[in-house]
């Protein structure tokens, strides 16, 4: 039997999840796509939130699709639970809860926003390590130079290493895709445990409200008490929202609250505003609104681009 060719377009937001945000007023299944400095337009869910070979990496000089296959299995396990919740059945067993907690965690770690965070953090850590090496005694650099000499088959001296790292600017980029994908899953498993433990509240939008929207970074994480960095456990006040469809949103907090609640239209707008604020570059909505477009333009416009990381004259620098 001939094997079906692998698809090069890979979704970083679950395609079946996006079906929950189609515009009910359109005859066909379209949602509204918002991008910076453009007008919102109708698009099919299968055409958005995807990149060519996003989850692929080279393995023995061949493109590996293993990560994409794992993601598909995880999506298949969670999809019945997503549908169950959107049908207003909130009775989850422990096994169902841990499975859906994994789905939530994966929605946070599988997107470009998280991938950029991992890669930039790694590059900065490497730059600081190199800065330390330059300023440390020569014993560490001697071992490093010996290792490089053996790998490259040529003599590399400590003095040569110091000159190379201190002479000018060396840009550091984490480009090992396989490494990034492994850390995506490791982070997902850690976050899954946290999401499983904390309290869930399912917010139901009013029937006459346009509803919730989502983005290319669908987990909106907050912590009003965080002194440095916002995380799932950065303080007891940390919480997140995750719209599950146009009519349902998950609110997760560290303190016990009502399990199911009817949201007001004002609360829906507030959650939508937070979702737009934490989007990377795209919003997916069941309605057309120039206010949402203007908000996205403003958010992206004031955001600094990804800072490059250098080793400049022996010091780690972020720009």
Summarised one tens digit per residue, pLDDT across range 221-245 is 999 988 777 899 999 999 999 999 9
* Mean pLDDT, rounded, for 260-281: 97
Dihedral angle, C-alpha 210, 216, 222, 228, nearest 10 °: -160
Least confident of 24-38, 194-208, 262-276: 24-38
| The predicted structure's pLDDT at residue 143 | 79
274 contact partners, CB below 8 Å, separation of at least 6: 220, 222, 241
User: Do residues 250 and 193 make contact, with C-beta atoms less than 8 angstroms apart?
Assistant: no
Place 305 in a pLDDT band, splitting at 50, 70 and 90: low
* Separation of alpha carbons 54 and 65, rounded Å: 10
Q: Please state the φ and ψ torsions of residue 112, each to the nearest 5 degrees.
A: -55, -35
Each domain of the chain, given as residue ranges in start order, spans 9-54+63-117+175-301
> What tens digit of pLDDT does each residue of 90-117 get?
999 999 999 999 999 999 999 999 988 8
| The predicted structure's pLDDT at residue 1 | 44
In this model, does residue 161 exceed pLDDT 90?
no
> What tens digit of pLDDT does each residue of 58-76 get?
877 788 898 999 999 999 9
Percentage, residues of the chain above pLDDT 90: 61
User: Do residues 72 and 240 make contact, with C-beta atoms less than 8 angstroms apart?
Assistant: no
Tokens 């650099």 sit at which residue? 141
Q: Mean of the per-residue pLDDT values for the chain?
A: 89
Pairing mode, if any, of strands 57-59 and 62-64? Answer: antiparallel
| The predicted structure's pLDDT at residue 242 | 98
| CB burial string 92-122: b at 16+ within 10 A, e below | beeebeebbbbbbbbbbbbbbbbbeebbbeb
Least confident of 75-79, 98-102, 139-143, 213-217: 139-143
| The predicted structure's pLDDT at residue 307 | 67
| The predicted structure's pLDDT at residue 146 | 82
What angle, rounded to 10 degrees, do the helices at 112-135 and 138-152 form? 120
pTM of the model: 0.87
Pick 142 or 202 by higher pLDDT: 202
In this model, does residue 137 exceed pLDDT 70?
no
User: Do residues 216 and 12 make contact, with C-beta atoms less than 8 angstroms apart?
Assistant: yes
Place 6 in a pLDDT band, splitting at 50, 70 and 90: confident
| The predicted structure's pLDDT at residue 173 | 66
* Separation of alpha carbons 161 and 140, rounded Å: 12
Least confident of 74-83, 177-186, 309-318: 309-318
| CB burial string 42-61: b at 16+ within 10 A, e below | eeebeebbeeebbbbbeeee
Supply angle C-alpha 8, 107, 248, rounded to 5. Answer: 120
Pick 247 or 123 by higher pLDDT: 247
| The predicted structure's pLDDT at residue 117 | 85
Pick 132 or 43 by higher pLDDT: 43
Place 168 in a pLDDT band, splitting at 50, 70 and 90: low
């Amino acid at each position: 039997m001939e094997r079906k060719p692998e698809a090069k377009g890979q979704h970083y937001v679950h395609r079946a999840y996006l079906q929950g945000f189609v515009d009910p007023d359109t005859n066909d299944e379209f949602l509204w796509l918002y991008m910076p400095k453009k007008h919102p337009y109708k698009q099919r869910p299968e055409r958005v939130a995807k990149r060519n070979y996003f989850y692929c990496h080279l393995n023995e000089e061949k493109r590996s699709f293993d990560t994409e296959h794992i993601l598909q299995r995880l999506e298949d396990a969670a999809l019945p639970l997503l549908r169950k919740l959107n049908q207003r059945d909130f009775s989850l067993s422990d096994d169902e809860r841990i499975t859906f907690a994994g789905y939530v965690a994966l929605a946070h770690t599988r997107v470009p926003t998280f991938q950029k965070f991992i890669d930039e953090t790694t590059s900065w850590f490497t730059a600081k390590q190199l800065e330390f090496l330059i300023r440390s005694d020569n014993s560490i650099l001697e071992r490093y130079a010996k290792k490089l000499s053996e790998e490259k088959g040529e003599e590399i001296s400590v003095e040569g290493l110091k000159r190379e790292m201190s002479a000018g600017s060396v840009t550091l980029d984490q480009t090992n895709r396989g490494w990034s994908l492994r850390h995506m899953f490791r982070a997902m498993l850690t976050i899954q445990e946290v999401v499983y433990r904390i309290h869930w509240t399912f917010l139901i939008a009013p029937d006459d409200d346009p509803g919730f929207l989502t983005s290319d970074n669908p987990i909106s994480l907050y912590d009003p008490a965080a002194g440095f960095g916002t995380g799932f456990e950065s303080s007891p006040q940390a919480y997140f929202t995750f719209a599950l469809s146009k009519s349902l949103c998950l609110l997760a907090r560290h303190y016990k609250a009502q399990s199911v609640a009817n949201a007001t239209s004002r609360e829906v707008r507030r959650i939508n505003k937070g979702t737009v604020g934490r989007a990377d570059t795209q919003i997916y909505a069941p309605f057309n609104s120039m206010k949402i477009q203007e908000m996205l333009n403003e958010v992206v416009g004031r955001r600094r681009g990804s800072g490059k990381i250098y080793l400049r004259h022996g010091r780690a620098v972020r720009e």
